[in-house]
Amino acid sequence: MVLKTIPQKKRSRKKKNMKFDIITIFPEIFEFYFNCSILKKAKEKKLIRTKIHNLRDFTDDSRKTVDDKPFGGGRGMVMKVDPIYKCVQFLKSKFIKPKSKIILFTPRGKKFNQKIAYQFSKMEQLIFICGRYEGVDERVAKHIADIELSIGDYVLMGGELPALIVMEAVARLIPGVIGKSEFLKQRITKEKNFIEYPQYTRPPKFYPEEKFWRVNPKIWKVPKILLSGDHKKIEAWREKHSKII
Ligand code: SAM
């Protein structure tokens, strides 16, 4: 009797990649940035995927209206709930991943930080809703978004820059996106809400031209410890000057 050998299933070595879906009325802002930064390389290496959704494609009228006057009066226009609903519904029906989060950018949201970036880097998909005008109909925050996020206590003109900021902070935490040594350094860091110590490079002494600068001291020096070659002391100095947030 000839025993047939059953071919063993090849273990998939597919790298995990993160998908970013961006909902915006200004797709061109992202196209430019994606083509000239570390994100471009990450995309080429298939570590991240990006898909920009033009909100105007989810409108019904010929003018592709995405905004309307606020109920109760007041200045400016408000982004309508229905095009955002249709766009997210379209994503949910076809392209949603098990570990995904829908993020609405608003200055009233939870303040973004490194800890949140780490949490997001464990996801498979982030869907960003970029507001414009005087903001977004509150029903988007209440019923569509998983989280409202702010990048700081100031008001910008739109959610596109916040989306790029969050994306970059998250993407660099994905294995392979930045250099290996840099990534390992992050992995061995005990605290995930850690921001690195100050860095210096050559020259060890820099002599500024006095008439242009408030020079005190007159030579801009690198801290002696960093030039000492004493690794223990250097580590201690770095720890002391790191920031835990
Ligand atoms: N009327 C709103 C207010 O005073 O809170 C400001 C709306 S702002 C002009 C338009 C959009 O920009 C917001 O809907 C939001 O998507 C985005 N945005 C502005 N500042 C932001 C911030 N600090 N963090 C996150 N998103 C912001």
Angstrom distance (rounded) from CA 70 to CA 37: 38
> Contact 90/133 with Cβ under 8 angstroms?
no
Domain boundary among 154, 171, 188: 171
* Residue 158, domain member (yes or no): yes
Structural domain boundaries enclosing 218: 197-244
Residue 30 lies in a domain: yes
Nearest to 61 by CA among 76, 82, 87, 90: 82
Residues 166 and 112 in one domain: yes
Residue 115 sits in a domain of what CATH number? 3.40.1280.10
Nearest CA to ligand 1 atom 16: 131
1 lines ligand 1 (CB under 6 A): no
Ligand 1 touching residue 168 (CB < 6 A): no
Atom of ligand 1 nearest to the CA of 152: 23
Report if residue 3 sits inside a domain: no
Q: Is 78 in the pocket of ligand 1 (CB under 6 A)?
A: no
Q: Are residues 146 and 210 in the same domain?
A: no
- Judge whether 140 and 81 are in contact, CB under 8 Å: yes
Q: How many domains does the chain have?
A: 2
- 192 domain residue, yes or no: no
83 lines ligand 1 (CB under 6 A): no
245 residues of the chain, pLDDT tens digit each: 444 444 545 554 556 789 999 999 999 999 989 988 889 999 999 999 999 999 999 999 999 999 999 999 999 999 999 999 999 999 999 999 999 999 999 999 999 999 999 999 999 999 999 999 999 999 999 999 999 999 999 999 999 999 999 999 999 999 999 976 565 565 555 445 677 899 999 999 998 888 888 767 788 899 999 999 999 999 999 999 988 76
Structural contact between residues 147 and 103, judged by C-beta atoms closer than 8 angstroms: yes
Gap between the Cα atoms of 148 and 162, Å rounded: 12
Q: Ligand 1 pocket test: pick from 153, 156, 160, 164 the residue with the most ligand atoms within 8 Å of its Cβ.
A: 156
The preferred substitution site among 78, 105, 133, 137 for testing ligand 1, maximizing ligand atoms within 8 Å of CB, is 105
Q: What is the dihedral of CA 38, 24, 121, 42, to 10 degrees?
A: -20
Whether residue 50 is contained in a domain is answered as yes
Q: Are residues 210 and 159 in the same domain?
A: no
Supply the pLDDT for residue 2: 47
Kindly state whether residue 100 falls inside one of the protein's structural domains.
yes
DSSP E strands, 88-144: 100-111, 125-129
